[in-house]
Chains A and B, each alone.
Chain A
Amino acid sequence: MEKPYEPSLTIQETPVGKAWLHKRTGTTEKTIAFKKFQIRRLNEILIEKFFFINGLLAILILLGIFCLLFIKGFPAFREIGWKSFFTSSVWNPNSYSIPQYGILSLITSTLMVTLGALVIAVPLGVACAAFISQVASRRVREILKPAVEILAGIPSVVVGFLGIILVNPLIAKVFGISNGLNALNGSILLAIMSLPTIISLSEDALRAVPKTYKEASLALGGNDWQTLIRVLVPSALSGIIASIMLGMGRAIGETMTVLMATGNAPALTFNFLDAIQTMTSTIAIELGEVPYNTTHYYALFVIGLVLFIMTFVVNLVSDIILQKYQQVER
């Protein structure tokens, strides 16, 4: 049987056909391929632009938060005045005669619980990080590290709940007072909340110290403790400080635990056994009750703005420290 005749080229593919096609439409094989290539390239560019816009989202949200807080908070300044806002310590927006909006006591309260939390969490956290990275055996490490992760995942409202139920009676008993819902309670809870941040980041910093440092110290006759305190910790100091700053940022912005455990009485006090009211809990308590777009409502947004700026600065500083430290490591 003979094979039926099959042309190996279509008409357009013969040299004559190509010339004819070129004359009719002005396209050549090359230009067709080029057009296809162009379309694909356009697609690629569009796809890249699409991802780029998504990448910009983080900046947009950050700016958006700042702008909205500022816009919503601005009328409060007009109605209350900058000066009395930041220098008056009386926060009494529900007063029938003259409502007073002074956020000084709220700021000091926030700083007070944060400081208290750091006093507890920093030594404990750094010691625990040193323990995990330098001392603990593999098995102990494999228990401790997930434990820290789980601790980080515990919702703040559960920690606050335990503050009411466990820490509250404990403080009342130890100090002989009737009510244990105060700044000390808040500090203890915030310490627990910021511990995971401090531990895991400090541990990373300690682990990043080159092994040669440790070996050199041991070779010079230093014992393990001296090596840890005089070589490893100083080398990792910037990372440790950055971790502390991040933990501090968390403590400043933490809402539910302080809302539940600090007693919520706005007062300018520096006694850890007094009930206080932080910025976060003020917003949490009062925003649900005020009508939209009143002076009180605007004032709460100013508190939010101050809070935002405070955490922003703290995070930025920790970021700068971390960047510098990474550069040195390289």
Chain B
Amino acid sequence: MSAEELKVNGNGNGTIAPLQNVALFTSLVRRTVNRPGHLPGMATFHGYSGYGKTFAATYAANKFGARYIEMGESWTKKKLCASILTELGVQAQARTVSDQMDQIIEALAIDGVPLIIDEADYLATKGLINLVREIHDKSGAPVLLIGEEGLPGALSKWERVHNRMLDWVPAQPSTLADAKHLARLYCPHVSVEDALLEQITEAASGRARRICVSLERVRELASVEGLDSVGPAQWGKREFFRGQPPARRK
């Protein structure tokens, strides 16, 4: 491996910041945090499953000290409030939803950090979105909703919610540039040829998660065969990762 390759690939501890969706979400959070006072501070980051939305969101969450909850299918108002309070570190939680809302609003108003709600589709299906709007209105804290492709459509039914949105940002399918950066992060000691990365990206249909699994296989191949560099010739007729198994790795 040349010195130049070592410099590019030799550091396994790079950040995910250059990935397209990471840049999109980080910019979105920055805009909600720095918005002028008269603008609303809610936003969506939405897209198909597997685009790596949550993975992409970790960078901004850490940069801005965001609080994060992931909604569940069975969630009620009470569960939503209790989960937010726990995530905010409020020890003595009030008994009723309305008192819990006061606690959430007070804590978020003091902290001034963004609140990220993942699987936000459930906010629409469960009719809990107005609770979130109230939290945003009264605390002034930015609220980022992460969800599926249909999230904006589902939320636009509520006009008052619609008016609170600073922006609706669609997550993007992974590109070759993303695959190259993922190769730097996931195969730090292997040089992966562009031709192979192109094939991996195409087989993944833009799903970042699938690219990572394929790259993991490249890393294993390189490790087993003692290769410094892997391209279509070394890869041969092996399969790329296309489908969605129950777990990412065996």
A and B: bona fide binding partners: no
